Chains A and B, each alone.
Chain A
């Protein structure tokens, strides 16, 4: 059964720093992995989707990697800005094609 874990649960960094958010999953046969952003009380905004055949995806200041052998994905945020403050969630489908979610990392960027 697929399980997804995100560490740390919360992270606070000064503006301008580069940072890495971590996502671990137990089933290495994962088909893909998706990173989302969630602002308080708001919806889920898709940031990046990495297919199982890919190792990286980039969108602007965001770069996501996927290492199936180690069961890990990372989301790299370059030159962080206060507007990046949000909760970041990762999710991947299990064998029944249902998305299994991590609990998220709450990111605070201090001006």
Chain B
């Protein structure tokens, strides 16, 4: 069964460092998303990506964050100059269509980021 895969599963970094989280969405999907979940809190939307550009982003997704689809399979989230409060589980998701329509989202196992 097709699945969304994420790497790394866990990354520990020092405050101020840059991290890149990687995702391989389901191959025929068109829409890609990043969500995050701070420990003990709700899942939060970060950004959606379609046709090689950002379609929506939340207030959380400021200039510190960027996304890229560098090739036909990978979808990356870059966090520049990490802060302690960036520590969270980051989830990648993909869907065949937009959530507005039929949009069932399929999520990866997540990348746990710990900023020290």
Contacts and interface: CB of A to CB of B under 8 A. Distances in A.
Given A43-B110, A46-B107, A98-B48, A89 B101 contact: no
A46 B26 CA distance: 14
A91 B99 CA distance: 11
A1 to B, nearest CB: 12
Nearest to B33: A99
B12 interface: no
B102 interface: yes
Contacts of A99: 33, 35, 43, 45, 99, 105
Main secondary structure of the interface of A (DSSP, over half): strand
Interface residues of B, number: 27
A101 interface: yes
A91 B100 contact: no
Contacts of B108: 43
Nearest to A51: B102
Given A93-B103, A97-B100, 18 more contacts: A32-B102, A34-B105, A41-B112, A42-B110, A43-B91, A44-B91, A44-B107, A46-B107, A89-B43, A96-B56, A97-B56, A97-B98, A99-B45, A99-B105, A101-B42, A101-B43, A102-B42, A104-B42
